Amino acid sequence: MDLIRPIIKPYAWGSREALARLQGRSVPSAGPEAELWMGAHPAGPAGLTRDGRATTLHEVIAAAPERELGGECARWFGGRLPFLLKVLAAEQPLSIQVHPDREQARTAFAAQLAVGTGPGTYADDWPKPELLYALTRFEVLAGFRERDEAVAVFDGLGLADVRPVTDVLRAGDGATALTEALRTVLETGHGDSGPVAAVVAACERRARVPGPYAAAYDAVVRMAGHHPGDPGLVASLLMRHRVLEPGTALFMPAGGLHAYLKGVGVELMAASDNVLRAGLTTKEVNIPELLRVTDPSVRVPVVRPSGVPGLRTRAYACPVEEFALYRTELDGSPEPVVPSSGPRIALCVDGSALLRGPEGDELSLGPGESCFLSDSDRDVTAQGDGTLFVAGTGAGIARR
């Protein structure tokens, strides 16, 4: 069991309070803190001390992948820790984005390497499905609306400026219509902020009128305060707007268009940093590639936790091989850590958790503290009065 030192990503949309409070540091922080990374991705490997030497989780796994990950996991994932655990603290909206599936990432990254011109759109050759568990109320845009609902949202603005969008929606069928509407908004919206301003003004009027889309209109107005004139504001109306209550988990499959607007949550994903952006960002935007990868038929389901027989642990399983999330509300008595083997990262988000191995070795976690459990750290128990999340590999590896 290794206590790890997470990496803080200081992206501009981050909070100056949430992560500092979680870790018991002074508030506010010196600058925005957006993500707490607990994993081995080369772009932000967590630190740890092994045999008295400061190192990183990436280096530890690379030195002995079968010992750290287990033989099956090491072979199937090429010696890499397949998941990345984060705490995400969004004070401002994140970009409208999509992530590739495995084949798309492999093909695009290989083509990028073949050109040999240096860093490109793809950071690695891995997919990036993800799970978000809301620690606070968390506002998101997740997946496309149904076509008829999208038409109703745009018609509700009462603007001639959006006729090109509604014409495309009415002319097409289902998924094709939604993709073409998104293309219309993004490809014609850049460089001309007039129609965007008109949409924002109409949203401000409509947000004051009770109705099924008032919250979505209000979200556009608030996002415009951070990204004025951005066509992503118009594109957001094509997407499902929802607010997750604390304790709710959402699964974002590859190809699903989404944007996280505000909130704090535990995020678990495949160990990738591949992000294709369409708007609401100062970072690189690649509209053609985003449109190619986006799958408008993707649904973004709420993940219903299942109980682990005989334990207080709840499992948030997703249809992916790279990860699964487990949550245990400790009540003072020892509780087996699930999973019992394989690579795991445990995170305490409140209270305390004392982890104990079968040989009597112990590691204490307080709020915001996390540790790495290698495959050799088997049959560990946890005891305390806190909430413990454990990230592990997903289902199906052993059947390969």
Helix or strand run (H / E) with residue 356 = strand 353-356
Closest to 353 in 3D by CA, of 339, 334, 340: 334
- Give the pLDDT of residue 120: 85
- Secondary structure of the chain: what % helix, strand, coil (to 5)? 30, 30, 40
The pTM assigned to this predicted structure is 0.94
Query: Which residues participate in catalysis according to the annotation?
Result: 277
Compute the average pLDDT of residues 259-287.
Answer: 95
18, 368 Cβ separation under 8 angstroms? no
* DSSP 8-state code for residue 302: B
The residue type of 196 is V
Please tell me the distance from the alpha carbon of residue 301 to that of residue 33, in angstroms, as a whole number: 28
pLDDT at 400 over 50: no
- Give the pLDDT of residue 172: 78
- Give the pLDDT of residue 194: 75
Radius of gyration of the chain (CA): 22
DSSP string, 245-275: PTT-EEEE-TT--EEEEEEEEEEEEES----
- Give the pLDDT of residue 399: 33
- Give the pLDDT of residue 336: 97
Instruction: For residue 212, name the pLDDT band (cuts at 50, 70, 90).
Output: very high
Compute the average pLDDT of residues 120-146.
Answer: 95
Instruction: For residue 397, name the pLDDT band (cuts at 50, 70, 90).
Output: very low
pLDDT in tens, 38-97: 999 999 999 999 999 999 999 999 999 999 999 999 999 999 999 999 999 999 999 999
pLDDT in tens, 345-364: 999 999 999 999 999 999 99
263, 91 Cβ separation under 8 angstroms? no
Compute the average pLDDT of residues 319-335.
Answer: 96
Closest to 241 in 3D by CA, of 225, 224, 218, 275: 218
pLDDT at 23 over 80: yes
Percent of the chain at pLDDT above 90? Answer: 92
348, 367 Cβ separation under 8 angstroms? yes
DSSP string, 139-159: EEEEEEPPHHHHHHHHHTT--
Please tell me the distance from the alpha carbon of residue 58 to that of residue 77, in angstroms, as a whole number: 14
Q: Is the dihedral of CA 29, 34, 36, 41 positive or negative?
A: negative
pLDDT at 102 over 80: yes
- Judged on CB neighbours under 10 Å (0-12, 13-18, 19+), 388 is buried
260, 140 Cβ separation under 8 angstroms? yes
- Ranking 31-35, 174-178, 246-250 by mean pLDDT, the lowest is 174-178
